[in-house]
Amino acid sequence: MSVINAPAPTDTSVRRDSLWTRFRRAATSNPSTLPTAASLVIFIAMLIFGEVAYGNIVQFSTLSNLLVNNAHLIVVAVGMTFVILTGGIDLSVGSVIAFSSVAGVMLANSGWNPWLVLVVMVLSGTAFGLLAGILIQYFGVQPFIATLAMMFLARGLASMLSTEPQRLADDSPIRWFGTQFKVIDGPKVNDLVITPGVIIMILVVAIAVFVLHRTRTGRTVYAIGGSEQSAQLMGLAAFRTKLLVYVISGTLSGVAAVIYTSRLGIAQNITGIGWELIAIAAVVIGGTLLTGGYGYVLGSVVGALVLGLMTVLITRDGSIPPEMTTIITGGVLLIFVLLQRLVTTKRE
């Protein structure tokens, strides 16, 4: 007697249930990924909404503008991610960018070698980060107070250098980092362009991902955020690493100053006001816990792009006041803080 095999069920609900079960299992086993996944979902949803409501959002030119206009913010957010992963905070990044920009443009206009100017801009950020780290590690000053002091110091020094906008010469080699190069020649103005500043940003992100997930230093950063005392008991270089994260944040602020100044060609003592809060918002929206120990650099990149795309959509709408950007950002940030609280509770 022959046996007739029944055909496999084709009900798609079986597959959906299987996918949903796997998603729940992944979320339960590693709940810290939920905020990052949520930020990615929000970014995709914003793209879809923008395309349906306004059109011409999902295209090369939008991606290019997002990367070019927010490259400096992404670099700052990467540095802030290192700091927040240890449970700290850095309020000085915006002021450091202002000082580095003003000092760099003034030095370039006075005839300094452009490459030496770039080194000075980056190292000035390193100096502020090192000073903040020394205050925190050697003198026991709280990160909030130490970086707040650096914020006032950098802003004051920038104002002492100049209270008027300093314009970089159009033929300055520094402007090359903001020069747009066409990668894909699309129809009409729908081109995919890139700048050396964007390439620097991509390299910074790639190096940060490697350091955090493939080196002993990265593991120590996460360990400090989980419990600094436990990290020390395990023999990890907690003291040195915690100093290092502020140096990294300051250095990347100097790099962000180079990217921003080369693109706009102008520096002011009021540059970067509030950027530290935007960077913190990008990191939190990207899924990094404010308590430290959990988070991802790529999540911070997505968080920065969410904020950038939000500005694009509000501008494209035209009927929404620009002030709504701050209100919407605050609302999104509140949602992610509550989501982080849920994740923390789940972890406990």
Asked whether residue 25 is assigned to any structural domain, the reply reads no
Asked whether residue 256 is assigned to any structural domain, the reply reads yes
Q: What is the pLDDT of residue 315?
A: 83
Average pLDDT, the chain: 88
DSSP, res 270: T
- Per the model's pLDDT, the better-predicted residue between 255 and 332 turns out to be 255
- Does the structure show a pLDDT above 50 at 13? no
- Each residue's pLDDT tens digit, 270-301: 999 999 999 999 999 898 988 888 889 999 99
Query: Do 175 and 168 form a contact (C-beta atoms < 8 A)?
Result: yes
The sign of the CA dihedral 284, 287, 288, 290 is positive
Q: What is the pLDDT of residue 37?
A: 82
- Tell the residue number behind the tokens 């950098």, with chain if given: 154
Asked whether residue 325 is assigned to any structural domain, the reply reads yes
- Does the structure show a pLDDT above 90 at 194? yes
- Look up the CATH number of the domain holding residue 87: 1.10.3470
Q: What is the pLDDT of residue 270?
A: 94
Asked whether residue 22 is assigned to any structural domain, the reply reads no
Asked whether residue 17 is assigned to any structural domain, the reply reads no
Q: What is the pLDDT of residue 1?
A: 45
Q: Distance (Å, rounded) from C-alpha 242 to C-alpha 87?
A: 10
- Does the structure show a pLDDT above 90 at 23? no
Asked whether residue 324 is assigned to any structural domain, the reply reads yes
Q: What is the pLDDT of residue 26?
A: 53
Asked whether residue 65 is assigned to any structural domain, the reply reads yes
Q: Which domain, by its residues, includes 220?
A: 35-347
- Does the structure show a pLDDT above 90 at 61? no
- Each residue's pLDDT tens digit, 67-98: 999 999 999 999 999 999 999 999 999 999 99
In the chain, the number of structural domains is 1
- Does the structure show a pLDDT above 50 at 234? yes
Cα of 133 vs its chain's centroid, Å: 20
Asked whether residue 23 is assigned to any structural domain, the reply reads no
